[in-house]
Structure 1
Amino acid sequence: MKFLKIYGCLICCGILLTSCSNSKKSSELINFLKSEDFQKTVNGQPVDLYFLKNKTMQVAITNYGGRIVSILTPDKNGELADIVVGFKSIDDYLNAKAPFHGALIGRVANRIAEGKFSINEREYNLPINNGANHLHGGPKGFHNQVWEVKKANDAELVLHYVSVDGEMGYPGNLSVEVTYALNAKNELSIFYKAETDQSTPFNPTNHAFFNLAGSGSENIYNHELLINANLFTALDSVNLPAKKMSVKNTPFDFTSLKKIGKDIDSNETNQQLKRGNGYDHNFILNKRKTNELNLAATVIESTSERKMEVLTTAPCVQFFTGNFFNGSDIDKNGKPINYRASFALETQQYPNAPNLKDVLSIIINPGKTYNSKTMYRFSVLNQHY
């Protein structure tokens, strides 16, 4: 049952949370989003809003792009705030200048050089939508598709999409199933499963933007971040991830908790920060157990004492600090989405992998099933309720 129906009586009585900055005790979960604002036909397919919930938190997801619209989590006092940047209606998503908020990304996350790759000596050409490169599956990638809802309840949302042969230039009919699952431990998991009838590259991720102080809050400079990586991928002159570099003695060293803002403005002395206009880089996770969840990152916001851990079976994570937002999009609070007021941690395979020989292949083949998983674990440092 959708969360809106459960609390419909509260809405009718006028007890509607209209701003994510207004918080509620976790025992009083209020749905501030309205399903009817997401009920629309897009690309000939029905779009709606779906809710996962447990006793202390809730997640809102739309099947347009499989987007995480909202995550309500408690702080140290049990007060809820929405920690995901997003919009209040499907029309706002369709009209947004920034296209990736909260979305599933594919077929291939990150960049492919010049939009070209080859499989079995056949070259494929993809649309160029990021300088000289192809980014995040192209302009009609997964983020701009309506996903079929296979299952929806309080604990699980199962989405399905078939990317047809030739879509955005990619070969093969690719059947993708993504499951969002929320458990009683405040762990939100994303399971990716895919099969193809032709060899094709596949590297999915989710592009949620977070601010653990609450969406619409000030910049994320005081968030403390740990990334479990001794290496990152340096950007070349066209912002293509190119060369592996050590994080040691650089602003990219997050091997222990460090404030995001500590080194972010070292543009004059660090060419990599200048090229990314801040952090927009792939980190290569430290030695891990294959096909098991391994820690990618930990984020702490000291005022609320919210903590988020990111675990994944993927080998890499892209850390992005919202360097190109300029306030032109208005979020669900009615506030501008500002420069460096949110961050993304996109678990992924190696960028531009189809064109590289020294990294794990992202080519999936007929007869084989692709599986991967990412988990966001939410908690507080010191619970006072």
Structure 2
Amino acid sequence: MKKAVKKLFGRFNGQDVYSYTFETDSGYRLTSMPYGATILDYITPDKNGKFANINLRFANLEDYLVKGPKFGASVGPVAGRIGEGTFELNGKTYHLPQNNKTNNMHSGLDGIHVALFETAEVDDHSVTFYTERADGFGGFPGPIKIWIRHSLAENGELTLTYEAAADQDTLFNPTNHAYFNLSGDQSRLIDDFQLTINAAGYYPLDENSLPAEEIDSRAGFVQELMKGASVGSIRQSDHPQILLAGGIDHPFALDRDQEVAAEYYDPESGRLLRVRTDRSCLIVYTANNYNDFTKSKGHPAHNGLALEAQAVPDAIHRAEKDQVILKAGQVMKTSTSYHATVKQ
């Protein structure tokens, strides 16, 4: 590994915000910043040895401060939707902002994606960001302490580790909102890229975009994704669930017997991205909707694929609730890795 590089990226609320770049001897690079514990660059080689950033991003900090798609940001403390923006824990009902229909989505507008984390530790292959949320902040019980570590291995594997502890029972179900375009060209659509998901099935969504109780493994598009299919062939299908979301925007229940959760491949560049995680669910999103600001920055819809590892959305209202309840005095830790290699 080469020596880590710290560089001023911008200013937020009167504070300097630095980026941290890590580079392997073979040329892989990871750049992250503490605003939102955000991945800026994941630079990897193609089959011709040409390096490019495969993570969608904005050019400067100011653009990240505008409400947008959360490119590369950490999401939490609870990623995904919480139905009706309420939940009950230890006999007490908590009310959260409803920022997605009647749901709380990604912990609302003041989730960790807009937090300026402290930089707790840096070495030549990783950075650890830290933040603390007060009791009641965003509607959640607390206080809760959160550490997020971004690390780059010599073989080019990017690993995200999340750790949290709280003084009272609360919820914790984080993820990262990176959008990957394996061509390295953010203007190119991802329709020709191939996606394989090692899933037991997917959770159909209702009219409020909340997942069904039971998984469906028989749907045609799910069967195709289990075998491997082009992103475009799936997102442009006439399946009612795909039409409902305007593309893929669904939770997939992972096959826990498989080491790799998903593979994402660009035949033209030869880049192959493998996802590994200890989480039970993978949210797959084909960048179906961008606001006008994001489009004005050169990002057409369907130019990236988000592969968000987490517990199933709305888990607190489901049998999976224990996956998202962080007990007082205990530490919850989870990790997900993305590894871009070349397939000739």
What TM-score do you get using the length of structure 2 for normalisation?
0.94
Alignment match, 1:153: 123
TM-aligned CA deviation for residue 359 of structure 1: 5.6
Q: 1:49 aligned to 2:19?
A: yes
Cα pair 2:81 2:103 within 8 Å, conserved: yes
Per-residue Cα deviation, 1:119-171 (whole angstroms, up to 9, x for no partner): 11110000111111001111010000000001223301111010111110000
Larger Rg: 1
Against the structure 1 CA distance between its residues 255 and 243, is the aligned structure 2 distance closer, same or farther, given a 3 Å change threshold? same
Give structure 1 regions of 4+ aligned residues with deviation exceeding 3 angstroms. Answer: 1-4, 358-361
Larger proportion of strand? 2
Judge conservation of contact 1:327–1:338 (CA < 8 Å) in 2: no
- Inter-partner Cα distance in structure 1 for 2:300 and 2:217: 28
Distance in 1 between residues matched to 2:108 and 2:148, nearest whole Å: 19
Q: Could you say if the C-alpha distance between residues 326 and 116 of structure 1 is closer, same or farther in structure 2, counting changes exceeding 3 Å?
A: closer
Q: How does 1:227-246 map to 2 (within 5 A)?
A: 227-246=197-216
Q: Secondary structure at the residue paired with 2:262?
A: strand
Q: 1:263 aligns with which of 218, 222, 234?
A: 234
The correspondence of residues 205-354 of structure 1 with structure 2, limited to 5 A, is: 205-253=175-223, 254-267=225-238, 270-288=239-257, 294-325=259-290, 328-329=293-294, 336-354=298-316
Question: What's the secondary structure of 1:244's corresponding residue?
Answer: coil
What is the CA-CA distance between 1:326 and the residue it aligns to?
Answer: 5.6
Tell me how far 1:2 sits from its aligned partner.
Answer: 4.6
User: Which amino acid counterpart does residue 230 of structure 2 have in structure 1?
Assistant: K
Q: Which residue identity does 1:165 align to in structure 2?
A: D
Change (3 A) 1:361 1:373: closer
- Is the CA contact (8 Å cut-off) linking 1:235 and 1:243 kept in structure 2? no
The question of 1:71 aligning with 2:37 is answered no
Percent identity over paired residues:
32
CA drift at 1:230:
2.2
| Counterpart for residue 5 of structure 2 | 3
What is the CA distance between 1:45 and its match in structure 2?
Answer: 4.4
From the superposition, tell whether residues 74 and 180 of structure 1 become closer, same or farther in structure 2 (CA, over 3 Å): same
User: Contact 1:147 / 1:161 at 8 angstroms: preserved in 2?
Assistant: yes
Range 250-259 or range 218-227, more displaced: 250-259
* One-letter amino acid of the counterpart of residue 331, structure 2: T
Q: Normalization by structure 1: what TM-score?
A: 0.84
The answer to whether 1:93 aligns with 2:95 is no
What is the match of residue 333 of structure 2? 371
Deviations 1:221-268 (A, max 9, x none): 11111111021111101111224332334212311221111132123x
Q: Does 1:81 align with 2:57?
A: no
Q: How many residues align?
A: 340
Per-residue deviation, 1:46: 3.6
**Aligned pair in 2 of structure 1 residues 99, 262: CA closer, same or farther (>3 Å)?**
closer
Whether the 8 Å CA contact 1:251–1:264 is kept in 2: the answer is no
Q: Which residue identity does 2:270 align to in structure 1?
A: E
Report the counterpart of residue 27 of structure 1 in structure 2: none
What runs of 5+ residues in structure 1 fail to find an aligned partner?
A: 5-34
Shift of residue 102, structure 1, vs aligned partner: 0.7
- Output aligned runs, 1:170-181, within 5 Å: 170-181=140-151
Alpha carbon RMSD of aligned pairs, Å? 1.7
Contact in 2 for aligned 1:113/1:240 (Cα 8 Å): yes
User: Is the 8 Å Cα contact of residues 231 and 244 (structure 1) preserved in structure 2?
Assistant: no
Q: Which runs of 5+ in 2 are unaligned?
A: none
Give a deviation string over 1:315-345, Cα, whole Å, max 9, x none.
00100000002663268xxx51111111100
SS in 2 for 1:64: coil
